[in-house]
């Protein structure tokens, strides 16, 4: 059983998120998503449209996602990898290199981002409508 983990805010779920989740799941059998809490979003200077419980419920309905845990801080990744017996850590390549320190604990893979879509873009487009 190959366990995978990925992290993010996943606000206003869009094709970029789905592409990431689908490709991540192709690397193994079980995908855990560590979903940024509303408090951690503030630390990341991100203001999500949907609050944590809604974002969690939406993620749990996606066929590629097997488990959703809460992401509360930058420092929890090593403990998450240990606690969830993670084999592969996967993120979009906008994070390229930022999590290489996790190579000591599991395989680290950065996947190409989906160009042309982001939650920020969606919010900006709607604000112009
Ligand atoms: N993503 C993507 N293509 C896009 C937009 C996002 O592949 N067009 C990927 C990102 O690279 C990330 C995941 O989707 O791997 C979630 O993106 P966000 O919700 O923006 O997450 P982020 O704010 O990058 O949080 O500790 C890590 C952070 O929590 C990551």
**CA 83 – CA 65 distance, rounded (Å):** 18
- Please tell me if the CB atom of residue 76 comes closer than 6 angstroms to any atom of ligand 1: no
Atom number, ligand 1, closest to the C-alpha of residue 77: 26
What is the ipTM score, two decimals? Answer: 0.98
Complete edge-to-edge strand list for the sheet that includes strand 107-111: 67-71, 30-36, 3-8, 88-92, 107-111
Q: What is the pLDDT at residue 129? A: 82
| 42 part of the active site | no
**Which uninterrupted H or E stretch holds 17?**
helix 15-25
Look up tokens 């420092």; give the residue. 75
Q: What is the pLDDT of residues 56-96, one digit of tens each?
A: 999 999 999 999 999 999 999 999 999 999 999 999 999 99
98 flagged as catalytic: no
Cα(104) to ligand 1 centroid in Å equals: 22
Locate the ligand 1 atom nearest the alpha carbon of residue 9 and give its number: 19
**pLDDT of amino acid 55:** 98
Q: How far is the CA of 17 from the centre of ligand 1 (A)?
A: 7
């Amino acid at each position: 059983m190959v366990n995978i983990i990925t992290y993010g805010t996943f606000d206003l779920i869009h094709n970029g998120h789905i592409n990431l989740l689908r490709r991540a799941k192709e690397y193994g059998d079980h995908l855990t998503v560590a979903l940024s809490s509303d408090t951690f979003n503030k630390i990341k200077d991100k203001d999500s449209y949907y609050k944590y419980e809604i974002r969690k419920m939406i993620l749990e309905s996606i066929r590629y996602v097997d488990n959703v845990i809460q992401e509360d801080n930058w420092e929890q990744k090593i403990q998450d990898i240990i606690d969830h017996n993670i084999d592969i850590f996967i993120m979009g390549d906008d994070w390229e290199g930022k999590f290489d320190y996790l190579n000591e604990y599991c395989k680290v893979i950065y996947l190409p981002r989906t160009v042309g879509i982001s939650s920020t873009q969606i919010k900006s487009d709607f604000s112009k409508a």
